[in-house]
Amino acid sequence: MEHQHIYDKQGKQICCSLEEKINQSMEHHSDDDGHDHDHSSKEKSTFQMFLPAIISFVLLMVAIGLDNYFTQSWFTGWLRIAWYILAYIPVGIPVVKEAFESIRKGDVFSEFLLMSIATIGAFAIAEFPEGVAVMLFYAIGEIFQTLAVQRAKANIKTLLDQRPDEVTILENNVAKTIKASLAKIGDIIQLKAGEKLGLDGELLSDSASFNTAALTGESKPDTKTKGEAVLAGMINLNSVCQVKVTTAYSDSKLSKILEMVQDATAKKAPTELFIRKFAKIYTPIVVLFAILICVVPMFFVANYQFNDWLYRALIFLVISCPCALVISIPLGYFGGIGAASKNGILFKGSNFLDVMATVQNVVMDKTGTMTEGVFKVQEVVFDSDFNEDEILQMVNALESQSTHPVATAIHQFVGNVDPTIVLQNVEEISGHGLKANVNGKELLVGNFKLMDKFSISYDIDPSSIVYTLIAVAYDKKFVGYLTIADSIKEDAQITIDKLKALGIKTTMLSGDKNTVVQFVAQKLGITNAFGDLLPEDKVNKVKEIITKKETVAFVGDGVNDAPVVALSNVGIAMGGLGSDATIETADVVIQDDKPSKIPIAINIGKQTKKIVWQNIILAFSVKAIVLVLGAGGLATMWEAVFADVGVALLAILNSVRIQRMKF
């Protein structure tokens, strides 16, 4: 995947440095071999980050003490200057170096240049303590920024932890330990109790219980049975089980999720894009104003003192540095993405956090979204003129060509497919069902719209039966139908109640039978519900809502409903761990299929937007006040430090606050 740069700070160089910090925070978590660093190594790296600032701080405190509190005669002249320069070097040289690098790359007016001019200028007018202090606090602010990014990505690190370095595979019934990345599709993994699964696979044992909390946020154990998919990162809870590898290490669902969340930083919210453009225009203007503050008074002030006005200009430069904005705003969105991931919700970009905050109508599919999507055949009503077992075997063979939950229900009801049944000209008719030729005769299996489409007459009223109906026709004759039942998800009611409390409208669109759709909608209290819809009908319904100037979030499987997902303002996919296509299609993925995560996602979007705007107002307000005071000579370099670094630190702390919130 091509590396995408993010422009969050002063246009280019600083923006990239923020992205690099995010990447570094994840790289520091594991070494090249994939082994976790222990706790002591993390503490050591943090100490190393603070070491230059600690050295600078100690030297500065000693110098201030010798200047103001300890009477002596030797701390003067070049010795005093050299001491302050020594205190400046640990924190100042890296910034000055970055300023030159930025200029070399074409980014002249960077934050690094502003801080370099301000602090070197302070030295030029013999304000040594202020020069060191400004750079010291700036360096500390940068460290806290890095730590804040690491905290915002803590849950992504947790996901990285879920990929074990090694797996035990069986070769000729002999256990052999190899690197997880070397395991091949088809290998059999032996997973002991308490071990994490390294790759996606299919369970070969009769049953096994897994802890899926790191993937889905769900603490309740998930019991899988033979043939079901199990995913990298799941922890085996009980006895030894065997898993057949179905996906390469690099292509696992977990790898895709990690890649998706890391790439989310490339899709920026409008607020971030505005700040990027604002900073590129704002910084050159600030430098120009600083020059004017220093030079223009020469022509109007009688007792003009160059050093005094240069000092004011330097204060102006420090205060005007927009780091509080360009740091805290992307951090606020990183925090929102991190908080969502912690709750089993994956946003593909910070722009979707903004959209979720403004959602007015949640449009949802029924099957697999508000209902379990686990169908069971309730009854078979066939005409006595047909052999029920024979027809069921043909229906089962045809439905084996589909991945729809209804097909799974029929397969579970009938059993294994009869290999003697030969299907010809199999065709899936979107929104209707399946068609094929068996023994030279036409077989139709689908809804009653399929019967109407092929002019098959029937003597029942489908609307009189609440359950989902699967109609069957063979040799141009109506055979009968199967009734299929699906249960409503246990948190579906909570979801609708919370959405209503947020003042959000709810609409259900489904291709399922209208009586079933209305039954579910009435039971849950969904505002509007429409059944018997074809894919194009769903598109038209969403278009109608959008023409009312409402922001729409569509919740579905992300594959069959791709046109609706593309049309809606934000597409939310249920079952992110069950479908590669879902991860690719949707804007937001709910990992554990729980609809109750929808209002949580909306709340996270609202809180993120709230925090971002709090930071913007704080930064602009404080800076505006101190800028006026600085230009008028009423603020010193110390107030400038607070207006710049102090406000940035407050904004950073406010940004990471979302990580602690409970939704």
Calculate the CA dihedral of residues 412, 429, 451, 424 and round it to 10 degrees. Answer: -70
Reduce the DSSP state of residue 489 to 3 states and report it.
coil
Calculate the CA dihedral of residues 90, 93, 95, 99 and round it to 10 degrees. Answer: 180
The whole-angstrom separation of Cα 437 and Cα 475 is 9
The catalytic position among 8, 200, 365, 561 is: 365
The whole-angstrom separation of Cα 129 and Cα 136 is 10
What single-letter DSSP state applies at residue 278? Answer: H
The whole-angstrom separation of Cα 36 and Cα 28 is 9
What single-letter DSSP state applies at residue 55? Answer: H
Cβ atoms 551, 355 nearer than 8 A: yes
Calculate the CA dihedral of residues 636, 638, 642, 646 and round it to 10 degrees. Answer: 160
Runs of H (alpha helix) within 264-414: 270-295, 306-320, 323-342, 350-357, 388-399, 405-414
For the sheet containing 235-236, what is the strand order?
222-225, 207-211, 235-236
Residue 614's CB: how many other CB atoms inside 10 A? 17
The per-residue b/e assignment along 50-62, b for 16 or more CB within 10 angstroms, e otherwise, is: eebbeebbebbee
Runs of H (alpha helix) within 415-455: 448-453
The whole-angstrom separation of Cα 130 and Cα 551 is 51
Cβ atoms 198, 254 nearer than 8 A: no
Name residue, tokens 């019934």. Answer: 173
> How far, in whole angstroms, is CA 624 from its chain's centroid?
34
Cβ atoms 485, 491 nearer than 8 A: no
> Which residues fall within 8 angstroms of residue 147, CB to CB, at 6 or more apart?
46, 49
**Residue 250, class by beta-carbon neighbours within 10 Å (0-12 exposed, 13-18 middle, 19+ buried)?**
exposed
C-alpha distances in Å from residue 430, one per residue of 513, 533, 556, 645:
15, 11, 17, 59
Query: How far separated are the first and last CA of the chain, in Å rounded?
Result: 33
What single-letter DSSP state applies at residue 419? Answer: T
Reduce the DSSP state of residue 413 to 3 states and report it.
helix
Cβ atoms 213, 219 nearer than 8 A: yes
Runs of H (alpha helix) within 28-76: 39-68
What single-letter DSSP state applies at residue 36? Answer: B
Check if 33 is active-site. Answer: no
Which residues are designated catalytic?
Answer: 365
